Structure 1
Amino acid sequence: MSATRRTRRTVRAALGASTVALTLLATSACGPDNSPGDSVATGATAAATGSATGPATGTTGLGLPANLDDLKKWKADDWEKWAKDYALPAVAKGYWTLERILSAQPVEPLKPPAPGPGGKPTGQPTTQAPQPTAPATAPATATAQPSVPGQPPADGGVDAPPKTVNAQADPHPYAKNLSVFGKIFFDKPGAQTLAPGKLGQNYVCSGTVVADPAHPGKSNLVWTAGHCAHQGKGSTFNSNIVFIPDFNASGAVSGGKRPTDVTQYAPYGKWDAVNYVTSPVWKAEGGEVGPAAQYDFAILRVKPEEDTGKSLEETVGGALPVWFNAPRDQLSITNYGYPAGPPFDGLELNHCDGGKPSRLAYDPNRPPMLTIGCSMTGGSSGGGWLAAKDGKPALVSNVSVGHDGDQKWQAGPYLDDVAAGLYNFIAKKG
């Protein structure tokens, strides 16, 4: 059996066996966030325009580091100055009825531009690096080129797209350790104003319970995509955010069934988001596919709608550690989510055994994304990507970008020191 297949089986076995305890990985880093309209300059841009002096490093006039490498060096005080909208308005009790939940529209992964003449994608920022989206018919034979530490990859950090891997639904009832996965429901900014109190304004993503290094064994943190928490440049945070772990684990709402008992489809209850963080890069530049996707991640802190005195981790029975700066050549990825776009209905937890990831980059100066074959659709945005670390599953990314052509694949951000700083900040804030 190949090493890749052994690693996949390790992750699946660790998650699928109800007797395996999910363990905590404590990480040390530094601190999270910004306000609409800010932008991160590359080193070249900063050199050309100059920069103002910021909290701990040189910054743009808008308060972000002039060089993205400086963002990795932020201290707690620097992150604190970005947390201007850290707290979220309370979710009205009873807002997320089953009718509202089932009517929620799936949030699509960010869509890469369609190939134009000659196979080149259209509508993308121009860089000196190869463009990130190859024709759907391109062979998946390209291999990652070696790079010099501290310098962009010589090939721009772009490989040929991976082959399609068909998503597989997990059987009901879900194994105990799959309870770390769930669905995130929310309203986009302005939804209440446009359609107050009406159905059809609600949206859904996927999320994963992750460990909290500041509160071992008692985490209330959920990892997801940045675009599932904040709409990016010029916008603000989503509202009425709720996380339902282990949604429909028993199959109670499958096949058109409509139970009246909430515990039948939300066995661990509903967990309201009380604050959140997403990367400064996403909040400054996000909204569409492009370089901001390379930092498209967010973390929610939640509390139970019905308080039992237990944390989310204690309630569901585990939380996944997060593996930052994971060696790419050691990764064999399985991702999880609740796809809701056709041919899926959003009611079933699915996974893709994607194996070794290839690379995708919209800006060669930023860490290339991880890319795997996967046929999941809208609603899987934010779903957790797992790899085996020391024989146990750890989260290494989340669904950000998705391609649904002849070759179906998804891409997630590489979690570097910026992600570690974000994680450590919200942990200490709890």
Structure 2
Amino acid sequence: MRVAIVTESFLPTINGVTNSVCKVLDHLSLRGHDAIVICPTAGAPKRYKGFRVHEVPTITYRQFPVGVPNTRVQRLLDDFAPDIVHVASPMFLGAEAIAAAKRRGIGTVAIFQTDVAGYTRRNNLAAMEGVAWQVIRWIHNGADLNLAPSSSSIADLQRARVGNLKLWGRGVDLESYHPRHRQTDTVARLRQRITNSPDEVVIGYVGRVAPEKQVERLAALRGIPNIKIVIVGDGPSMDSVKKALKGMPVHYAGKLSGKDLSYAYASFDVFVHTGTEETFGQTIQEAHAAGLPVVAPYAGGPIDLIGHGEDGYLFDPFSECDAHLRRCVEHLVANADARARMGEAGRRRVLDRSWESVCDELLGHYGDVITKRRGGEARERALSLTADDDALIESEQVLENGVG
């Protein structure tokens, strides 16, 4: 297949959208398909896995590059002649790509990944939430197929009257995130650096430190004995988080990636996710792959990823002062057997979610859209030929009647 991936975010910007796009490109290369990437201008590499990367005009909003509709998108699609257009987290750039593909009879698969409506609520733009959903509906209803990462996302999209929906989750690297790393000398030295004693229970968080992640919730753990909190990541809310957690036993590890991130997960005993606006929750899968019990809010993507009482706990995010979050963590801190049992269950939960299997599923969706598109075109040609035949028969009858 020839796949054009149009994404609102790409390297060097690191986030969930970029990560999933890179994993899809890795898989397309593995399976021998051809691809291009169209993305906002932000200093992206000229090639990724041998695939050409094309940057298009961009504006900057709150330090984030935003691609704007332009004729270059159409020219790039014409030059590449894809079989399918994959649109990642579509907004302005994605909308242009869907429209251009539609005009050319090319199938489109749109990936819903960013809670834009939640962003309007969080930034005191509640009056704009309805408008945000209207825009989302307009963009996604132009696509042949919309893939959402969780049942919660699908329910939100259905309420917004978005059609052509299917569930498509995310994969996880089962080798990079593995319980065996916990037994390495590297992780032993890491725990020595971040804890005051070998008996301390390490509570870990991984992700952006931003308003939507609500990392300040960790303040609910204040006073729990024998814990050390480790925050991996950085972002605009760091000052707010440090203020909320002042005086608590916290180690700020900063941004980590690759093996360093893998070892960080392996150094944790419990993983806590705090935000309620996740459309999926990739770090939850990574924590489970690393053999950790996970505590996360009963909201959004985590609902699908955690079996309450089996491989972690889903806390009520609306309880006063996050009392339920605290109780869930307290139980795991006090019970090493529960941590071990839930960690093993979490690992088993993700064993069928390798990126290879998830991306093969995506290729199946591509094929379905291509087949449906071609079937529709064949039907249109058949109807056109039938109409031409009917017109010919009618004209012959007129001639015969005229001669008679």
TM interval, short-chain normalised? under 0.3
Structure 2 length as normaliser, TM-score?
0.25
Structure 1 length as normaliser, TM-score?
0.24
The structure with the larger Rg is 2
Higher relative contact order (CA 8 A, sep 6+): 1
